[in-house]
Structure formats: structure tokens, C-alpha cells
Structure 1
């Protein structure tokens, strides 16, 4: 299990397990990050993340979806 989100994670890119960028962390609230999605984010990835509401600027990313948090990036679990 990766470490909890911290304020220093703001601005980090969020990547799928395959290395595709899905967005950037804008804010941290409790055990969740708030992510601005990439304009090229595939609809199937949005659905797997529960980001199905159209027109939102920021979506919530649960810590349970994260495999690893590095100094530069946040990587999601493989099964997403």
C-alpha cells in the first residue's frame, strides 16, 4: 500500500499502470486527491474511476486506486 496523499503531491501527474496520463492533482482532502483530468482521457478510464459526471473540472481520486506515489508521479493500480 502506498503512503497517504500529502500536500506535496499537488501538481503531480496521475498515470495509469500503463503510463498513460489521466490528469494532475489539484488538491488533497483526507485520503483522497482531487484531480483535473487530461483532455485526452479515455471514457473507459473515466468510467473505471467513477468520473462519469460530465462537465466537472475536478474529480475525486480514492487512495485505494493508487499503486505507487513517487517524487514526480502518482501511478494507479493495474486493475483499473
Structure 2
């Protein structure tokens, strides 16, 4: 999906392909959403999203991982 993110996406839940919440969009900077991941998010999912092992506050969400955007959530493709 070629997603265009705006400030309106801030605060939306980010969910995996199964609908499980993995974080919240904390901010959108230059069209790129920055996600605050849930503390229990599996390291394997972080790795597949390219978020690495670092314990950062937020991570950039790559639009190629996004399946859909609704009024209240961003759903990721199965990774």
C-alpha cells in the first residue's frame, strides 16, 4: 500500500494482521509515522519491521508494511 500519513494519524492504534495491538502512532514527521510500541511486543515482530533490538522510545513505520488505514487504526500486513 502506498500510504500517505498525516498529523490526523497521530494517536491511532497500530495492529498486526491478526488485529492485535502492537503500538500507538506517537507522531507523524515528514509523512512518516513514529510508533510507540507496546511493552510486550515480541522481538521477532520488531525485527521483521526493521525496528532492531534497540530500546528506543519510538520507531519509524515503513509504509510498505501497511495493509490498510481506517479512522482509528493502522493495520499491518502479515510479516
Same fold (TM over 0.5): yes
2:40 match: 40
CA, structure 1 residues 31+63, in 2 after alignment: closer, same or farther (shift >3 Å)? farther
Give the TM-score of the pair, scaled to structure 1. 0.89
Cα RMSD after superposing both structures: 1.3
Q: How many residues align?
A: 79
2:22 match: 22
Unmatched segments (≥5 aa) in structure 2: none
Unmatched segments (≥5 aa) in structure 1: none
Q: 2:59 & 2:37 partners in 1: Cα distance? A: 7
Q: Is residue 72 of structure 2 the alignment partner of residue 77 of structure 1?
A: no
SS at match of 1:51: coil
Q: Which runs of 4 or more aligned residues in structure 1 lie more than 6 Å from their structure 2 counterparts after TM superposition?
A: none
Please tell me whether the aligned partners of residues 31 and 62 of structure 1 are also in contact (alpha carbons under 8 angstroms).
no
Task: Output one character per residue of 1:12-42: Cα deviation in whole Å (capped at 9) or x when no partner.
Answer: 0100001111100011123421000000101
